[in-house]
Amino acid sequence: MSDQTVTQTNEEQQSNDSTEQRSNSLTVDVETDERLVDSWTDYEFEDEAAITVEDLDVYYGDDHAIDSISMEIPERSVTALIGPSGCGKSTFLRCLNRMNDRIDSARVEGTVEVDGENIYEGDTDLVQLRKRVGMVFQSPNPFPKSIRENVSYGPRKHGDVNVGLLGRLLGNDDREVEREIVERSLEQAALWDEVSGRLDDNALGLSGGQQQRLCIARCLAVDPDVILMDEPASALDPVATAKIEDLIEQLAEEYTVVVVTHNMQQAARISDQTAVFLTGGQLVEYDDTDKIFENPESDRVEDYVTGKFG
Amino acid sequence: MSTTELHEQLKDRLGVESADDSVVTLGAVGALCLLGSAVAFLIGSPFTALPLAGFLFTVGYGLWNHQATTAKALTFLATIATGAILALITVYLIIEAFPAIREMGLAMFTKTSGRMWITRGEEVYSLVPMMWGTLVTTVLAMLIAGPLGVAGALFISEIAPDAVREIVKPAVETLAGIPSIVYGFIGFTILNDYMMENLDLPSSGSLVIVGLVVGLMALPTVVSVAEDAISSVPESMKSGSLALGTTDWQTIKNITLPAAFSGVSAAVLLGVGRAIGETMAATVILGHAQVLPEPLYDVFGNTETLTSLIASQYGVASSTHMSALFAAGVVLFVTVTVLSIASQYIERRMQIQLQGDT
Amino acid sequence: MSEQTATRTAAPAVDLFDRIALGVVGLSIVTFLLGWTTLFERTGTDTAVAGLSLFTLFGAVFLLAGIGLLVSGIASYVGAFETTADRYTGIGTGLGLGIVGFAVGGLATTILFGVGATGSVLVGLVVGLVVTSGVAVLPEDLGTTFPVGLLGLAWGGLLVTGAVDAGWFWNPPSLDATFHAPIVVPLATIALSLLIAWSGAIVAEGFGSQGRQNGAYLLIGLNAFGMIAVLLLLILFVVQKGLPKLLEGAQFGPGLGISVPFLTKGVMLGQQYNGIFPAIVGTIWLVIGAVLLAVPIGIGAAVFLTEYAEQGRFTAIIETTTNALWSTPSIVYGLFGYAFLVPRFGNSNSLLAGMFVLGFMLLPLVVITSRESIKSVPDEYRDASAALGVNQWQTIRSVVLPAAMPGVVTGVILGVGRIAGETAPILLVTSGQPFPARAPSILGSFRFVATPPFVQNEALLQASSALPYQLYAVITAGVGQEEAFGWGTALVLLLVVLGFYAIGIASRIYFRRKLHQ
């Protein structure tokens, strides 16, 4: 447990309470499954943790969407979050870059540490956070702008690239820098070869799969550490899906990737470790992907991954 | 064309699948009655009631025996009636305006020197001062309603927390409900005096007051329509920008507003239409001088707008004078209809754009 | 750890820099409000605060705020405080301040040197261009504070030194108007305090994207606050002015019952309290007639367009037509009624013609709102009904229309609120005597006769008053003694119209809540 959480004694108390509650409810829920108890908390990674979540609870009004989840997400790997719909996996993902702030009724308790800093602490700069933790959404959402502008949108808005009229007039615009960023990001997103000749076309003219890779490129252009993906291939056809999956595996060499999916084969194919969420916003099991799919601790998880339920 | 063919066609039109001849006969009788009453009404015959009664009887019989078909036919008639009203307005305005336009020719819209509006003796009807008055008040009004309206729409749809939005949105709608004559009354009793007192104006009533009041009145229209446009920008697009680490304001400025640009301009156009057509405030506040202000930009002076001209003179007008008022109505009607169609075109383009069919 | 709401309100480390910025914002919002009260003559040149006359106080505030802004700008520029200022202020802000520069430069030229319109516009343009380009290329912390701070110092100096005092005026040679200090000073103060508040808000967040957001949100928030304030002030003002007349001679007593002569009497000679009863009845009948005409046709058209017609050219034309009708000015409807309806309804102004014209005006609104709510009925309902073997009309009648009804009702109520306040068409087709003594008696006037059109109703074909027209009549009759009568009428009209709006909006909220449960 980090220093920051220890100092906050008051809330610490509270979170201990909720941990107890959780284990209580767990034993009630899965009486038949004695082996389950805290099996995954022993799970150790070879790499450093990029994100550490402790006792995270999310409420939408009275609705308890995330029920006291703790987990560590190792850096430079693919972590898959799977589970039936409504299990809270997307909500959990949105906690990691505080996109839940968009929803007025959402209330978040607990700590999420990115690089050792609790992002739910008072003076967290959302701009800096979201620069470090990028996000790719379920359906492609390119801006109605040119391909180039889509990719360079983040750097431009952060003032890293200055290509406005003023810069041009004063003769110190960053067109060269922008070109490099656009090319690098599109190459990383495996899109460069397809669009290099038409960077100034409207991005909405691209196919669905291309749009999604453009969104990934757009996210990479900001140079994040972590990339969150919310069912990135669910709106795409099989060919486009395969491309996105290849891309995710490549990205994990440099970035920490957290991907939500309801497609278990996809999770098995691309991820290094898998977290299984079942109904009620609970994390039931979290382990190496192979372990989860071949020999899970929990019977419920076994039923789920073998398709008996969910 | 044989009667059977006619029957078949009628059946097609009415969507009757079964070859039920009584329905077709009924439809024919109803249509004839309605046509009869429409013609009778148009020529001003006192016998209008007869075919109308026949039509109502047919409808009653139809609703009793062939409800589905009759209902469909009735809804179709209602649709036609809606369209017919616009057609009738157009036709009657133009018919009534024709004598004045024939007498004055193009000078009605171009004469800018000498006395421009003489209703007795050597009649002269030039709409130029009124068109200028309408233009000036509309520009003033939109300087207020345009920016404030768009800002208000942004506040409601993007910035305000839910609880605040629940107050501001109905309040803006209610603002739209305050009758123009109430604004006019306040302008007439309070603002006119205030201006005369504090600005040493020689006469009561000035374009700037009308512009101010009309701007306030057009404001809710701009807010409501622009808000619809802004909130129709998909949330996914805004999330996409925010997830890259931009501030809310950057997202509004760079993503939301550009995406909603057409809708917002449609809102402003509609606001312009409202401002142009606003009658009572101008009628009550202005001093009704059918002259161009001197100098032209003197917004503290008195002139006339197209609407206030009609409202203030219809009671004393006859023949060519009345016809000239209808000509003013035609100018208003054409301008506002063009604005309305333009704003609809822009809105439709925005929808297509957002769906990505560019 | 953090409950999110708690983290949001947690106080940031307050340092000197923040305090200066927040002080600037606070001061300028106070002067902004004082500027308005002065413009409305609630406070005036003789108002003294802490021994200072109001204008001197304004001046002192602007001097302080100007210095505050300049200091913060320089402090940020030399790096005394850590800010996130951008390299350039940018063209957008430059243009905005350039427009201010244009206005200030032009006005100053013509006021100080008596230069004519063309000359001062030219000077203004030059000043504006210089400000725009200068500000645009300055670093953000200087560009957003310096022009505003200098302007604050200049205006504050003029006020404090008395160069512009309560007796100051400017008489532009080309206009009839003379601008006196009691109007000019508050207006300039309002405008300048907005600018300063904007600049201070940017400083408070340390410039950069957060600062610009803060500045923009401040202005947008003030605008929303302003709209609410206008609404409340308008209503309160009319209530305050109209209530005495409304309650004149009114009696509320246990033995006497309730009597409000203003609402129950006409205007008659020798009557102690005159009232607007005929106008109220007129408005009620107009609204009833318009609703009876517009609602069936409107809903019918909406059903046809949404349920029966194939979406194509025809529906597009009708949709365009409906929207065009919706934006057609009311006076044009009036002219149409005058030319088309009046000759056919006995060649004189009549209640019936008014009903038709208002009905025509209500029609497009009914079509538009009904279409919206019919469209929003989910297709599943229709499919479920059709799957049970029910034909299309029965589906519409028993599934679609009931589901769409809340939306339709809300739309109609709001539309009625709108037409109840319409004056222009009434003026042309219905109005008669400005201060009638008796209300039209519609129900008692039906006669069946042997000649066409067989049914007669004298009252329907007679001119009538209506609330908005009554108010207009007061104005044309000239102010003076009747003004109180006018305020009373305005209050009743406002109550009627806002009543419809309140019911409409409340029912919409009610139905929406019910839907979400």
For residue C107, how many other CB atoms are within 10 A of its CB?
17
Per the structure, the complete domain to which residue B44 belongs is given by 3-97
Query: What CATH number does residue A252 fall under?
Result: 3.40.50.300
Same domain, B211 and B336: yes
Task: Establish if A41 belongs to a structural domain.
Answer: no
DSSP string, C253-266: ETTTEEE-HHHH--
Average pLDDT for C246-256: 71
Provide the token pair at B181.
């004559």
Alpha carbon of A8: minimum distance to chain C alpha carbons (Å): 8
Show which of B39, B69, B97 is a domain's final residue.
B97
Task: Establish if B47 belongs to a structural domain.
Answer: yes
Q: Is the dihedral of CA A83, A86, A87, A89 positive or negative?
A: positive
Same domain, B342 and B194: yes
pLDDT of residue B107: 81
Task: Establish if A143 belongs to a structural domain.
Answer: yes
Report long-range pairs for B161-167 (Cβ below 8 Å, ≥24 apart). Answer: B161/A104, B162/A104, B164/C224, B167/C228
Q: Do A141 and B258 touch (CB under 8 A)?
A: no
Alpha carbon of A121: minimum distance to chain C alpha carbons (Å): 6
Alpha carbon of A307: minimum distance to chain C alpha carbons (Å): 30
| Partner residue facing A99 (CB), from B161, B243, B354 | B243
| Site of tokens 């490099």 | A180
Query: How far apart (Å, rounded) are the C-alpha atoms in residues A245 and A268?
Result: 11
For chain C, say whether A117 makes contact (Cβ under 8 Å). no
Query: What CATH number does residue B196 fall under?
Result: 1.10.3720.10
| Partner residue facing A121 (CB), from C7, C88, C136 | C7
pLDDT of residue C452: 58
For chain B, say whether A99 makes contact (Cβ under 8 Å). yes
Residues of B within 8 A of A137 (CB-CB) are: 236, 239-240, 243
pLDDT of residue C229: 92
Size of interface A-C (CB pairs under 8 A): 59
Same domain, B73 and B178: no
Provide the token pair at A181.
């960023």
Same domain, B88 and B134: no
* Residue C13: φ, ψ to 5°: -60, 115
For chain C, say whether A212 makes contact (Cβ under 8 Å). no
Q: Do A120 and C208 touch (CB under 8 A)?
A: no
Per the structure, the complete domain to which residue A248 belongs is given by 47-306
DSSP string, C141-170: HHHTTHHHHHHHHHHHHHHHTTSS-TT-EE
Task: Establish if A270 belongs to a structural domain.
Answer: yes
Task: Establish if B153 belongs to a structural domain.
Answer: yes
pLDDT tens for each residue of C343-384? 888 778 888 889 999 999 999 999 998 988 898 888 888 888
Same domain, B48 and B162: no
Most A CBs within 10 Å, among C1, C5, C86, to test the A interface: C1
Query: How far apart (Å, rounded) are the C-alpha atoms in residues B252 and B159?
Result: 9
| Site of tokens 């704003």 | B343
Task: Establish if A9 belongs to a structural domain.
Answer: no
Size of interface B-C (CB pairs under 8 A): 298
Domains of chain C: which residue ranges? 12-89+138-232, 277-477
Provide the token pair at C271.
């009557």
Q: Do A204 and B358 touch (CB under 8 A)?
A: yes
Residues of A within 8 A of C208 (CB-CB) are: 159
Count up the domains in chain B and report the number.
2
C78-82, C205-209, C227-231: range with lowest mean pLDDT:
C78-82
Residues of C within 8 A of B130 (CB-CB) are: none
For residue A296, how many other CB atoms are within 10 A of its CB?
22
Task: Establish if A29 belongs to a structural domain.
Answer: no
* Chain centroid to CA A130: 11
For chain B, say whether A234 makes contact (Cβ under 8 Å). no
Q: Do A126 and B245 touch (CB under 8 A)?
A: yes
For residue C78, how many other CB atoms are within 10 A of its CB?
9
Inter-residue contact C460 to C341 (CB < 8 Å) = no
For chain B, say whether C490 makes contact (Cβ under 8 Å). yes
Q: Which CATH number fits domain C277-477: 1.20.1280.50, 3.20.20.80, 1.10.3720.10, 1.10.580.10?
A: 1.10.3720.10
Alpha carbon of B115: minimum distance to chain C alpha carbons (Å): 21
Inter-residue contact C185 to C164 (CB < 8 Å) = yes
Alpha carbon of A1: minimum distance to chain B alpha carbons (Å): 28
Q: Do A111 and C2 touch (CB under 8 A)?
A: yes
For residue C63, how many other CB atoms are within 10 A of its CB?
18
pLDDT tens for each residue of C457-499? 676 777 777 888 888 888 887 655 578 888 888 999 999 888 8
- pLDDT, mean of each 10-residue run, chain A (310 residues): 40 41 38 42 62 88 85 88 85 88 83 87 83 89 89 87 76 83 89 89 88 91 90 86 89 90 88 86 86 85 76
| Between A263 and C251, the higher pLDDT residue | A263
Same domain, B250 and B178: yes
Residues of C within 8 A of B182 (CB-CB) are: 234, 238, 421, 471, 490, 493-494
Inter-residue contact B250 to B256 (CB < 8 Å) = no
Q: Which chains have 3+ CB pairs within 8 A of A?
A: B, C
- In the stretch 394-433 of chain C, residues with CB closer than 8 A to chain B read 394, 396-397, 414, 417-418, 420-424, 427-428
What does pTM read for this prediction?
0.84
For residue B37, how many other CB atoms are within 10 A of its CB?
21
Residues of A within 8 A of B352 (CB-CB) are: none
Task: Establish if A12 belongs to a structural domain.
Answer: no
Same domain, B215 and B337: yes
Q: Do B198 and C304 touch (CB under 8 A)?
A: no
Task: Establish if B112 belongs to a structural domain.
Answer: no
Same domain, B179 and B268: yes
- A18 burial type by CB count under 10 A (0-12 exposed, 13-18 middle, 19+ buried): middle
Query: How far apart (Å, rounded) are the C-alpha atoms in residues B41 and B55?
Result: 14
Count up the domains in chain A and report the number.
1
Task: Give the pLDDT band of residue C291 (cuts 50, 70, 90).
Answer: very high
For chain B, say whether A222 makes contact (Cβ under 8 Å). yes
| Partner residue facing A110 (CB), from C1, C10, C87 | C1
Task: Establish if A34 belongs to a structural domain.
Answer: no
Give the C-side interface with A, CB within 8 Å. Answer: 1-5, 7, 10, 12-13, 86-88, 90-91, 136-137, 208-210
Q: What is the ipTM of this complex?
A: 0.87
Same domain, B293 and B330: yes
Task: Establish if B111 belongs to a structural domain.
Answer: no
Q: Do C505 and B174 touch (CB under 8 A)?
A: yes
For residue C152, how many other CB atoms are within 10 A of its CB?
29
- Residue ranges of chain B with per-residue pLDDT less than 70: 1-20, 354-358
Residues of B within 8 A of A204 (CB-CB) are: 356, 358
Cα Rg, chain C, nearest whole Å = 31
Ramachandran sector of residue A55 (left: φ over 0; alpha: ψ -120 to 50; beta: rest): left
Q: Do C2 and A124 touch (CB under 8 A)?
A: no
Average pLDDT for C275-302: 89
pLDDT of residue B10: 57
Average pLDDT for C185-202: 92
Q: Do C423 and B152 touch (CB under 8 A)?
A: no
Same domain, B74 and B122: no
pLDDT of residue C478: 65
For residue C195, is pLDDT > 90? yes
Percentage of chain C lying above the pLDDT 70 cut: 89
pLDDT of residue A36: 43
